[in-house]
Amino acid sequence: MFRAALLAALALAAAPAHAFIAYVSNEKSNTVSVIDTDSWTVTKTIKVGQRPRGIDFTRDGKFVMVAVGDDDTIQVIDAKTQSVVDSLPSGPDPELFAQDAAGKTLYVANENDNTVTVIDLEKRARLGDIQVGVEPEGMTISPDGKTLINTSETTNMAHFIDTATRQIVANVLVDARPRFAEYKHDSSEVWVSSEIGGTVSIIDPNKHEVIGKVTFEIPGLRKEAIQPVGIGMTKDDKTAFVALGPANRIAVVDVASRKVTKFLLVGQRVWHMAFTPDEKYLLTTNGVSNDVSVIDVAAQKVIKTIQVGELPWGIAIAP
Amino acid sequence: MIRWLAGLIGFGVAATSALAADPVTIGVGYLAIAGTRSTLSLVEQPAENDGVAGARLAIEDNNTTGKFTGQRFTLEERRIREDEDVAQAATALAEKNGFIIADLPADALLKVADALRDRGTLVFNAGATDERLRETDCRANVIHTAPTRAMLADALGQYLVWKKWSRWLLVVGSHDEDRLFADAIRRTAARFGAKIVQERTFEDKGGARRTDSGVTQIQRQIPVFTQQAPAYDVLVAADESEVFGAYLPYRTWDPRPVAGSAGLVPRSWDASQDQWGAIQMQNRFVKLNSRRMTALDMQAWTAVRMIGEATSRTNSGEVKKVTDFIKGPDFSVAAFKGTRLTLRDWNLQLRQPILLVDGRLVVSVSPQEGFLHQVSELDTLGYDRPESKCKLK
């Protein structure tokens, strides 16, 4: 009796409050893996178009959008049926995208023609293009929805775009090959990772100036292997997680001091990441080892590895 | 000009303040010898615009960035005949251009460097792979984006050794540049513990590279030429002159792979390179030039991008300022090779990974895993600082 009670208690403690669903884009297999965060298993593999990378949920949680670059479109997956139901008119070679808070407008970085395409999500129609630098990639929108930030990989800038006028209001030079941009939740800073430069630039979004940089040093690892890409920030803005690509590690950064407090060993060539909505777990996509690492956010520990498709790249978790 | 204006209007006055002023013009010259060399393979025949096509794309890329920084890049191309005075041509080109990209043989390059030294013009060697330009004949006003023969040979050698193909049959052409490449291969073998089991020379007896009944004869000649060799793992060919290299694969007496000037070839770049975001640039290149991108195109692209990178970081078009930044400790450039490229400060050679290609795909990229270095693994390719004989002046 006592034993049964103990087992039940253990089971209760081990089970997460909610199970979430994570969608992982596999760049090489042309599939999206669906992961159940309760059992930590792949429950379904969805066939999509060529070279899926950027992936995100619509704000209502009903659909998953995945940029299939080599098919020059963004496909829409119905989260209920877990199958592709539609596609969006992006420009050529879409890679990453961002949507406004209302989930009405989608901004897509088109790597091949130096533009950001603006799409009306309800009408699923293309509204226009914004000319930016060479090889646009990283995309993020300010919490108030007024500013869109795009990074261009060969121009090495973060372009600040007014979403109302669709005009560039400022260009901030950062280190080489900026790939990802992330706002602090309180809007006070924008963090931009530079893959080749090996740093994260911290930009004051009002003054449009780089006000600090996060640098990474891992003993025994050559500088060139440290290639920051994806960034995740906790809702309290206290801790940032930075994926370091072929360094096979996630850096844990204290946001206030901008210093690395810990490196977590994950799979090979870690690209992007997503938190579960309760922020208990952080999932990272590891390109070369074809798996997803699960990090216990509070403990700052890798607790699990899940095999997915070939070259996993992007990840989104149902809200 | 029209394009630039259109860009300005497109972005409106709301863009960066730099746009309020007239853009700074940064002139880049491209100097090369007219005509192209003949290759054994028709598909490898270089285009008339080999090299300069890469410079053109980089000018476009720089100008896209220039819209935000108030900088405008121009390209002036000059092709000289073999008998023309190269120093004079370079001096004329330097009138309007503070930077010159050169695709010239070693002696001509040195003449250009010395003629332009007092003007402060910065020269980029995009074409010559000669060691001596980075060693005894190095110059303080010449930056090398072309890799050296030693870098190429080391890149190949590391892979062959990793593959445990360590017994090499070395076949060398009869021209000077073939011998120089063979020197580099011998050095590589000694460095990485490979053994050259025998050397053979393939004499260039003249003759056309293209004939109507060539294949039959080659099929008979090459097996005979390669028979009775000591046991070897791989045939390494040094044939920069394009006399016999491409004839070797599939025709050797013993069934062995071929590497070096044919088969598995070390190059700074290849039309098939699509990793590390390169696909976007490859696409831009094809769109602009209606052909695929060569190693020489990439070496010229990188040179012009280095200028663009330095002008945007220094926010200046001033040659002295830009040159100092490029030579300084904070400079690096991204060139779709998976790592930042920096300059060896002792001889101004660009450090870079080298691709090993088979004509269809990238087989591997060196430095190979396990070849370690205290400063940069890229310095396991070519002559390292302690060996260098260069004194920059």
Instruction: Tell me: pLDDT of B3 over 70.
Output: no
Instruction: Give residue ranges of A with CB < 8 Å to any B CB.
Output: 93, 111-112, 114, 131, 133-135, 152-157, 159, 162, 165, 167-171, 173, 176-177, 195-198, 222-224, 246
Question: Could A177 and B14 be called an inter-chain contact, meaning their C-beta atoms sit closer than 8 Å?
Answer: no
Instruction: Tell me: pLDDT of B267 over 50.
Output: yes
At A19 the pLDDT is 87
Reported as a single tens digit per residue, the pLDDT across B12-42 is 333 344 444 689 999 999 999 998 888 999 8
CA–CA gap between residue B144 and residue B106 (Å, rounded): 12
CA–CA gap between residue A108 and residue A95 (Å, rounded): 7
At B14 the pLDDT is 37
Question: Could B334 and A177 be called an inter-chain contact, meaning their C-beta atoms sit closer than 8 Å?
Answer: yes
Instruction: Tell me: pLDDT of A92 over 90.
Output: no
At B18 the pLDDT is 43
- CB contacts < 8 A (A, B): 85
Task: Tell me the domains of chain B and their CATH numbers.
Answer: 2-147+270-352 (3.40.50.2300), 150-267 (3.40.50.2300)
Over pLDDT 90: what percentage of chain A? 84
CA A47 to chain centre: 21
At B213 the pLDDT is 62
Question: Could B340 and A162 be called an inter-chain contact, meaning their C-beta atoms sit closer than 8 Å?
Answer: no
Q: Which two tokens stand for residue B294?
A: 């060569």
Nearest residue, CB atoms, A135 vs list B7, B277, B333: B277
- Residues 6 or more apart whose CB falls under 8 angstroms from that of B328 comprise none
At B374 the pLDDT is 86
Cβ density class B318-343: b for 16+ within 10 Å, e for less = ebeebbebbbeeebbbbbbbbbbbbb
Nearest residue, CB atoms, A176 vs list B16, B332, B338: B332
Reported as a single tens digit per residue, the pLDDT across A238-274 is 999 999 999 999 999 999 999 999 999 999 999 999 9
CA–CA gap between residue A140 and residue A123 (Å, rounded): 22
Length of chain A (residues): 319
Q: Running DSSP on this structure, what letter comes out for residue B60? A: H
Higher pLDDT, B28 or B373: B28
Are the CB atoms for A141 and A99 separated by under 8 Å? yes
Task: Tell which of A162, A171, A174, A216 to mutate to test the B interface (max B CBs under 10 Å).
Answer: A171
Reported as a single tens digit per residue, the pLDDT across B98-130 is 999 999 999 999 999 999 999 999 999 999 999
Q: Which of these, A35, A7, A32, A36, lies nearest to A19 by C-alpha position?
A: A36
Within an 8 Å CB–CB cutoff, is residue B309 touching chain A?
A: yes
User: Would you say the pTM of this structure is higher than 0.90?
Assistant: no
- Residues 6 or more apart whose CB falls under 8 angstroms from that of B29 comprise B75, B76, B77, B78, B90, B93, B94, B96, B97, B99, B100, B101
CA–CA gap between residue B198 and residue B227 (Å, rounded): 12
Distance from CA of A275 to the nearest CA of B (A): 26
Instruction: Give domain A23-288+308-317's CATH superfamily.
Output: YVTN repeat-like/Quinoprotein amine dehydrogenase (2.130.10.10)
Question: Could B280 and A224 be called an inter-chain contact, meaning their C-beta atoms sit closer than 8 Å?
Answer: no
Taking contacts as CB-CB distances below 8 angstroms, the residues of chain B near A93 are 280, 283
pLDDT-based confidence at residue B218 (cuts at 50, 70, 90): confident
pLDDT-based confidence at residue A17 (cuts at 50, 70, 90): low
Instruction: Tell me: pLDDT of A208 over 70.
Output: yes
| β-bridge partners, A55 | A66
Are the CB atoms for A71 and A49 separated by under 8 Å? yes
Give the sheet arrangement for strand A94-99, strand by strand: A94-99, A105-110, A115-120, A125-131
pLDDT (mean) for A289-301: 97
- Residues 6 or more apart whose CB falls under 8 angstroms from that of B343 comprise B143, B326, B327, B331, B349, B350, B351
**Complex ipTM above 0.85?**
no
∠ at Cα B248 (B243, B253), nearest 5°?
135
CA A181 to chain centre: 9
Taking contacts as CB-CB distances below 8 angstroms, the residues of chain B near A193 are none
Taking contacts as CB-CB distances below 8 angstroms, the residues of chain B near A155 are 61, 64-65, 68, 312
Are the CB atoms for B195 and B170 separated by under 8 Å? no
Instruction: Tell me: pLDDT of A15 over 60.
Output: no
- Of B11-15, B53-57, B59-63, B256-260, least confident by mean pLDDT is B11-15
Q: Which of these, A253, A249, A315, lies nearest to A283 by C-alpha position?
A: A315
At B126 the pLDDT is 98
Over pLDDT 90: what percentage of chain B? 84
Instruction: Tell me: pLDDT of B53 over 80.
Output: yes
At B2 the pLDDT is 43
The secondary structure element, H or E, covering residue A105 is strand A105-110
CA–CA gap between residue A237 and residue A187 (Å, rounded): 10
CA–CA gap between residue A239 and residue A264 (Å, rounded): 14
- Of A42-56, A270-284, B215-229, B318-332, least confident by mean pLDDT is B215-229
At B216 the pLDDT is 72
Average pLDDT of chain A to the nearest whole number? 92
pLDDT-based confidence at residue A9 (cuts at 50, 70, 90): very low
Over pLDDT 70: what percentage of chain A? 94
Q: Per the omega criterion (within 30 degrees of 0), is the bond before B249 cis?
A: no
Maximum distance among all alpha carbons in chain B?
75
Average pLDDT of chain B to the nearest whole number? 92
Residue of B nearest to A246 (CA): B338
- Measured CA to CA in angstroms, residue B291 lies from B31, B277, B370 at distances of 21, 19, 37
pLDDT (mean) for B362-381: 93
Residue A54 neighbours by CB distance under 10 Å: 25
pLDDT-based confidence at residue A3 (cuts at 50, 70, 90): low
User: Sign (positive/negative) of CA torsion B45, B181, B100, B69?
Assistant: positive
Taking contacts as CB-CB distances below 8 angstroms, the residues of chain A near B68 are 133, 155, 157, 159, 168, 171
pLDDT-based confidence at residue A101 (cuts at 50, 70, 90): confident
CA–CA gap between residue B55 and residue B49 (Å, rounded): 10
**Cα dihedral A244→A250→A252→A257 (10° resolution):** 0
pLDDT (mean) for B344-355: 97
Instruction: Tell me: pLDDT of B210 over 90.
Output: no
Instruction: Tell me: pLDDT of A7 over 60.
Output: no
At B236 the pLDDT is 98
